[in-house]
Chains A and B, each alone.
Chain A
Amino acid sequence: MSAPLLEVRGLRVGFPRAGGLRHVVAGIDYALSPGRTLGVVGESGCGKSMTALALMGLVPPPGRAEGSIRFDGRELIGQSAAEWRALRGNRIAMVFQEPMTALNPVMPVGAQIAEVQVLHKHLGWKEAGENAVAMLEAVGINSPRERARAYPHQLSGGMRQRAMIAMALACEPALLVADEPTTALDVTIQAQILDLMLELQDRIGMAIQFISHNLAVVSEIAHEIIVMYAGRIVERAPADALFANPRHPYTQGLIATLPDPEQRVARLPVIPGGVPDLDAGARGCRFADRCALADAGCRAAEPPAEEIAPGHFAACFKAAA
């Protein structure tokens, strides 16, 4: 495997609250190599989007990112606003979940795509506009010249997401961060977008960090998968290994609760309870309250991520055994 493009160490994202910071991302480590796809799954509020925004330097104030993000041999945390701007949309680009609200409603989509090249490649609007049309075509939009002049509301959800992707890839970034890019779309359109992303990855060779709450989606496209729970990575493994042999009780539960198309059961297994409030006592394993295996040890200390098989990490005292 080639040297990592992205190396995240001890990343934390905190929001101020009475008496300190509330860490919605509480120390995570991972790495991503060029041309590879990393899937990030987890339930609502577990910190997936905040992790992604930290990579872009866009954690909403008053939130703060700490720790280390090394990208292309450079440390991103603590770099200047101008350095961030030079990187964003250029070397690291992002696709957001809601293609309706993520595009500027009063600007034609062609101009929104062209803007990226105007900003980073210092092209004129005319030339960048021509490129935008070509890019719309490359992401599979028919009559791209007319569509370039259209406003977002004149496009369907699928086309808007294609336009978002065209925008993100305008400068052929080394890393594409896709935050639930297909969640708002129908399955047939989702399949089209996934195909498109893989095809463009082949062409441009970028690394993708693909965020989703849908295990099945991630399983189809990711080489490696991270499972997040309450601000932590509870398991990280190559995709095949994760599904064949999930080691963390939460991952096991998640996979088990999904209805299996091959065999219908009377009752689905459930993970009891709900996602904990991040404010509640920070000691011990965050999953302990919902875990069938939890014992006093689990509640006393936070389990560290252990490599239980090559490339397979789990943060659970019982997984190592």
Chain B
Amino acid sequence: MNELVALDGISVHFHLGGGGFLGGKPRILRAVENVSFAIGEGETLALVGESGSGKSTLGNVVAGLQPPTAGTLRFRGRTLDRATWPQARRSIQIVFQDPFGALDPRMPVSAIIAEPLRIQGIGTPAERRARTAALVEQVGLPVDALNRYPHEFSGGQRQRIAIARALAPDPALIVADEPLSALDVSIQSQVLNLMKELQERLGLSYLFISHDLAVVNHLVDRVAVLYLGRLVELAPRQLLFDRPSHPYTQALLHAVPRIGRKRARGQTIKGEMPSPLNPPPGCVFHPRCPKAQDVCRTTAPILEPAPGRAAHMSACHFKE
């Protein structure tokens, strides 16, 4: 598989005030810390983790919406900088969680979908109209949708509009930030199928951000697990779900409710993810980890292949 996008040592720190005149100690929120991975052509990579683990921040970095504090981004082998971003931008599009907030209520659907084309100055107005009409059909909306406004559509349909807009500039990668979370259960599978179908037809890559592991298991090729801004596990889907290597991933998988299972008590990991404002020393997971030893409290583990599985990366001193 050819590499499409690669992240190399990406960190994102937010300065939350402090410092300066009478300001006290500066406060730095480490949302993403030294994350590296690559997404191949036509591949779907999932980004999973708890709320606040840095998924959206990382997704925004990939989509060019958030400049990283450190690290570089490669697209088709070229390092992205100020000069190369504009070209890459049309190839990387993003779909957000909230299909209600993401669409301008005063624009008809045709204008919404054509917007990225207009902004980037792609095609003549006539060409854009034709493309818009084709896209509406591609995402399974009725043709008369073009002249209607977002509020006239249901949540699932609005997410289709957002997907059509993302598809407009003919991207190679779509960053999908929790595209299903705001949708009804019975609608989720419709959108999920659409995403899969588009991928097969157009050879798209997805960076699929989600906290629903069942959906992740259904859709993706590889999974990246984030914890407190760190990449703790990166593995092909099957390996990850069958033999999770990192204790956090194990806990996460165990916590996912399953139909037909009765709750076995007392097997849930304790505690909560600490604040990214002052991460624990050593392995950031150690305060909650059932396997933690002294070394975990002092030395941060690095992401390395799990024993006997070259493609299965895990950042734990006692990985399985």
Q: Please list the residues of chain A having a beta carbon within 8 angstroms of any beta carbon in chain B.
A: 43-44, 156-159, 186-192, 194-195, 198-199, 213-217, 219-221, 240, 243, 253-255, 257-259, 261, 264-272, 274-275
Q: Is the CB of B50 within 8 A of A188?
A: yes
Q: Please list the residues of chain B having a beta carbon within 8 angstroms of any beta carbon in chain A.
A: 50-51, 154, 156, 184-190, 192-193, 196-197, 211, 213-215, 217-219, 241, 251-252, 254-263, 265-266, 268-270, 272-273
Question: Complex formed: what's the CA distance from A268 to B213 in Å?
Answer: 15
The 9 closest A-B pairs by CB, nearest first: A259-B218, A191-B255, A257-B189, A216-B257, A268-B189, A186-B50, A191-B268, A271-B186, A43-B184
Q: Is the CB of B186 within 8 A of A188?
A: no
Of A186, A257, A259, the residue contacting B217 (CB under 8 A) is: A259
**Does more than half of chain A's interface fall in helix, strand or loop, or is it mixed?**
helix
B201 to chain A, nearest CB (A): 13
Of A156, A187, A253, A275, the residue contacting B211 (CB under 8 A) is: A187
Question: Complex formed: what's the CA distance from A198 to B263 in Å?
Answer: 9
Q: Is the CB of A261 within 8 A of B190?
A: no
Q: Closest B residue to A267 by CB, please name it.
A: B193
Q: Is the CB of A261 within 8 A of B217?
A: yes
Whether A254 touches B190, Cβ cut-off 8 Å, given contacts A214-B257, A219-B261, A261-B241, is no
Q: Closest B residue to A194 by CB, please name it.
A: B263
Q: Is the CB of A258 within 8 A of B193?
A: no
Q: Closest B residue to A188 by CB, please name it.
A: B255
Question: Complex formed: what's the CA distance from A189 to B49 in Å?
Answer: 12
Q: Is the CB of B218 within 8 A of A268?
A: yes
Q: Is the CB of A187 within 8 A of B255?
A: yes
Q: Is the CB of A270 within 8 A of B190?
A: yes
Whether A198 touches B218, Cβ cut-off 8 Å, given contacts A186-B50, A255-B259, A275-B184, is no
Of A159, A220, A254, A257, the residue contacting B257 (CB under 8 A) is: A220
Q: Closest A residue to B187 by CB, please name it.
A: A274
B287 to chain A, nearest CB (A): 12
Q: Is the CB of B252 within 8 A of A187?
A: yes
Name the residue among A43, A240, A258 with the largest chain B CB count within 10 angstroms.
A258
7 A-B contacts, Cβ less than 8 Å apart?
Answer: A157-B51, A216-B256, A219-B261, A243-B260, A257-B189, A269-B189, A270-B190
Having A186-B211, A220-B258, A243-B260, one finds 19 other A-B pairs with CB under 8 Å, namely A187-B252, A191-B268, A192-B270, A194-B263, A198-B263, A214-B185, A215-B259, A220-B261, A254-B185, A258-B185, A259-B219, A261-B214, A264-B217, A268-B189, A269-B189, A274-B186, A274-B187, A275-B184, A275-B186
